[in-house]
Structure 1
Amino acid sequence: MIATTTFSTTNASRYLGTLCKHFGHKVPVEFDALQGRIDLPFGQCRLKAGDTALDLTVTAEDRPALDRLTEVIGSHLERFAFRENPQLDWQIPAA
């Protein structure tokens, strides 16, 4: 299953790096200034930084894992970007 969201921000690269560095202490991550991947035990998050937005795509095997993944990634981004008050609207395509 897949869910996607976009966070409008001019600090996308910074938040991408912060998220990847944070999770990199516990799980495998790969990232540079424009893209990243976080491999959690229950799914994966791919991040893409642009000039005006951070795009996030999460994948998991089932709906409970997907819901957990959106919650974990979303809550961390909200904490790191609290000054911008991100309102994440995760979209889950119909199967």
Structure 2
Amino acid sequence: MPISRAEIATESGDKLINRLCKHWAHKLEVEQSEGEGRVTFDAGSCLMRAEPGKLHVAVEALDEEALDRLEGVVASHLERMAGKESLEIVWEN
């Protein structure tokens, strides 16, 4: 299974994880604990972990096509949930 990771500079990691998990919980399987969140999609999963000053995000998918799609979905939702804060999201795989 291909995996992409991003380390995003932000002081709002916990808040972003909380917002995303609440947003997706009504239609996807979501697990959330202190400073961490996991979302399971049909084609893969997203694991998020907050640290002071950064948010670690890992996306795992069934294939490269699904990975590209999930990267876009997760990035667009993170940017939307960040509001006025500008996030620089660079995926590495």
Partner of 1:35: 36
Aligned-pair distance for 1:7? 1.2
Is residue 65 of structure 1 aligned with residue 66 of structure 2? yes
Whole-angstrom distance in 1 between the partners of 2:34 and 2:87: 20
State the SS of the aligned residue for 1:44. strand
The one-letter amino acid paired with 1:76 is: H
CA RMSD, 1 decimal: 0.8
Partner of 1:22: 23
Q: 1:17·1:33 contact (CA, 8 Å) conserved in 2?
A: no
The one-letter amino acid paired with 2:17 is: L
Is residue 90 of structure 1 aligned with residue 91 of structure 2? yes
The 5 A counterparts of 1:46-65 are 46-65=47-66
Where in structure 1 are there 5+ consecutive unaligned residues? Answer: none
- What is the percentage of aligned positions where both structures have the same residue? 36
TM-score, scaled to structure 2: 0.95
Where in structure 2 are there 5+ consecutive unaligned residues? Answer: none
More strand by share: 2
Whole-angstrom distance in 2 between the partners of 1:42 and 1:6: 22
The one-letter amino acid paired with 2:44 is: G
Aligned-pair distance for 1:42? 1.1
State the SS of the aligned residue for 1:87. coil
Aligned residue-pair number: 92
TM-score, scaled to structure 1: 0.93
